[in-house]
Homo-oligomer: A and B are copies of this chain.
Amino acid sequence: MSVTAQNLTLLTDLYELTMMQGYFKNPVQETVIFDAFYRVNPCGNGFAIAAGLDQVIDYIKNLHFSDEDVAYLDSLGIFEKDFLEYLRGFHFTGDIYAIPEGTVVFPREPLVKVIAPIMEAQLVETAILTMINHQSLIATKAARVVNAARGDGIMEFGLRRAQGPDAGTYGARAAMIGGCIGTSNVLTGQLFDVPVLGTHAHSWIMSFPDEYTAFKTYAKMYPDACTLLVDTYDTLKSGVPNAIRVFKEMRKDKVLNGRYGIRLDSGDLAYLSKEARKMLDAAGFYDAVISASSDLDEYLIDSLKTQGAKITSWGVGTNLITSKDCPAFGGVYKLAAVKQGDGEFVPKIKLSENTEKITNPGNKTVYRIYEKSNGKLKADLIALVDDKFDESKDLVIFDPQETWKKTHLKGGTYTMKELMVQVFDKGKCVYTSPSVMDIREHCINEQATLWDETRRLVNPHEVYVDLSDRLYKMKTDLLNKMHPEE
C-alpha cells in the first residue's frame, strides 16, 4: 500500500473551486505568487522546524481530477460544463520553491512559494497548508522534547492518541525529523525507513499466570532487546524484583548481551527510577536501561532530569503526537505578486489593522546570515529574488517594525546562505527529498547553529528576521500608496 499514491485532489476547501471557476469565467488569467508562512513559533519555542514538503511534492505530482471527482463536482450543481471540462485536463504547471525539510525557520519567512496561474495556485492552497502546518508543528514539538532530554533518546509512542491514521503516521515521520530515535508506528517505519521500537503492554503481563512467567517468556523470545514493563502489579515490590530475577537467569545463561532494562509507566518517576536504579546496581546490572513513559512532555522530562531521575530513555505519546499545548501551527498562504501575461510581477500587500498581519510583497527568498568565526546564526534576511549581496562588504540590517534597531555586519565577518530551493519547474518536479534519517541529521546540524538562548524551552531569545533594503522600500511605498490621506 502507498499512502502517497492517493488522489487527494479534492482535499481542498470548496471556495478554492468556486474561485477557480470565477477566474476561469473571467478575464483574470494572471500568474501569481503565493507565500506560505507562519506568524508565531508554536509552543513558545524560539524557532520552528520546516517539515511536510515531501508530502506536498507527492500531492502536487498526483494532482488530477478523476472522472469520479468531476462527476461529484458536477453533482453539486454550481459548476458549469466548460469549467468541469477544464478540470478534466488539469495538472499543475507552475513553479514551487521551498525551504528544505529539517531546516530551522522563523516567523514570516516563506516556507513554500508557489508561482503559477492563479487557478492552479489557488487550488493547492489548502492541502499545502494542511501538510506543512501539521508536520512542521510536530517536528518543532519533537525538537523541544528531544532538547529537554539532554541527550537521552526520545521514542515516539503516540499513534493511538493521534488525530487519525495520517496524523499518527506523518506525525511520527515529523517527530523523527525533529530528533526522535524511533517510533512505535510500524507503518511509519515501513513507509519512511525509520527505526521502529516497542516491547510489550500490561496486557502481556496480565495474560500470564504471574509477572515472572510473563517476563521470562518475553526474555526468552527477545534476549537482544529486553525491556520489561515493571508497573503492572507493584513496581518496587514485584516488578523490579521479578525483572532482576530474569536478568540474573539471562546472565547465568550468557544471553544478556543486548540492550536490556525496565520501563516505568506510572507512579512517581523520579522516586521509582532512583529506587529501581539502586536495586539494579545492587544486583550488578549497571548497564540496565531505565526507560519511562506516562504522559510525558518537554516540561516533565526537563523537571525529571533536574530532579536527578535515573531515566535515560523516554517514550512520549499524546503530548508529542498532538502537540497538546499548541495543536495547530497557524501557517497561512498569502498573495504576494501578480503579473498579466509576460509582464512584470506587480507586488501585492494584504493590509491589516494588526501591523504583524501585514504581508511582505513581491517575489522573495530567504538568506541566513552566520557569524564567520563560529558558524552561529546571526539573523535571517527576507529579500527580493533579484537582490544582490556581497559577503566581503559591510551589511546593515534592521528590524522591519522597530527600524531604529540596526545591526552592522562588517564585510568578511559573516557568511550568507540562501535557504529556498526550487522544487517544481513548470510543473515538473526538480527536487528529490533526502531520506527521513538524512533530514533528521540536517535538523540536528541546523539546531547546532543556534545559540543556547534560542533553544531554551521557556522565553527563548528571539532571532532577528529582517527585510532587505529594497523589500523594505517596496513594502513602505505600497503602504503609503494605500493609505494616501493618513
* Cα-based distance from A159 to B165 in the complex (angstroms): 16
Distance to closest chain B CB from A75 (angstroms): 9
Q: Which of B7, B122, B328 is the one whose CB lies under 8 Å from A318?
A: B328
Q: A206-B335, A318-B328 are in contact. Are A161 and B186 (CB under 8 A)?
A: no
Instruction: Say yes or no: is A25 at the interface (Cβ < 8 Å to chain B).
Output: yes
Bound-state CA distance A207–B338 (Å) is 8
* Cβ–Cβ contact B164 & A164, under 8 A: yes
> Which among A130, A159, A202, A333 has the greatest number of chain B C-beta atoms within 10 A?
A130
**With A72-B190, A187-B10 known to touch, is A161 a contact of B22 (CB < 8 Å)?**
no
* Stretch in contact with the other chain, from A191-199, A399-407, A411-419: A191-199
Known pairs A163-B167, A163-B171 / 5 extra A-B pairs, C-beta < 8 Å: A1-B8, A12-B185, A166-B167, A206-B348, A323-B327
Q: Does A395 contact B (CB under 8 A)?
A: no
> In the docked arrangement, what's the CA distance between A318 and B163, Å?
13
Name the distance in Å between A211's Cβ and chain B's nearest Cβ. Answer: 12
A210 to chain B, nearest CB (A): 12
Contact between A14 and B184, CB atoms less than 8 A apart: yes
Q: List 5 A-B contacts (CB under 8 A).
A: A11-B168, A19-B200, A130-B161, A160-B333, A203-B334
Cβ of A381 within 8 Å of any chain B Cβ, yes or no, is no
Among residues of B, the one whose C-beta sits closest to the C-beta of A78 is B222
Interface string of A56-84 (1 = CB under 8 A from B): 00000000001011001100101000000
Q: How far is the CB of A109 from chain B (nearest CB, A)?
A: 18
Binary contact readout A146-157 vs B (1 if CB under 8 angstroms, 0 otherwise):
000000000001
Nearest opposing residue in chain B for A317, CB measure: B328
Q: Is there an interface contact between A8 and B222, defined as CB atoms closer than 8 Å?
A: no
Q: Does A240 sit at the interface, judged by CB under 8 A?
A: no
Chain B residues, Cβ within 8 Å of A200: 15, 18-19, 22
Any chain B CB within 8 A of the CB of A424?
no
* Residue of A72, A202, A322 with most chain B CB atoms under a 10 A cut-off: A322
B160 in contact with A171 (CB, 8 Å): no
Contact A164/B201 with A221-B25, A266-B352 known, Cβ cut-off 8 Å? no
**Quick check: is A391 within 8 A (CB to CB) of the other chain?**
no
Check if A165 sits within 8 Å of B327, measured CB to CB: no
Instruction: Using CB atoms, name the residue of chain B closest to A324.
Output: B327
| Cβ 8 A contact of A134, one of B32, B129, B162, B353 | B162
Q: Is B324 touching A328 in the complex (CB atoms < 8 A)?
A: yes
A302 close to chain B: CB less than 8 A = no
List A residues 345-395 near B (Cβ within 8 Å): 348, 350-353
What residues of B have a CB within 8 angstroms of the CB of A190 in the complex? Answer: 10, 68-69, 72
Contact bitstring A28-40, B, C-beta under 8 A = 1, else 0:
1010101000000
A6 located at the interface, meaning its Cβ lies under 8 Å from any Cβ of chain B in the complex: yes
Within 8 Å CB of A181, what residues of B? none
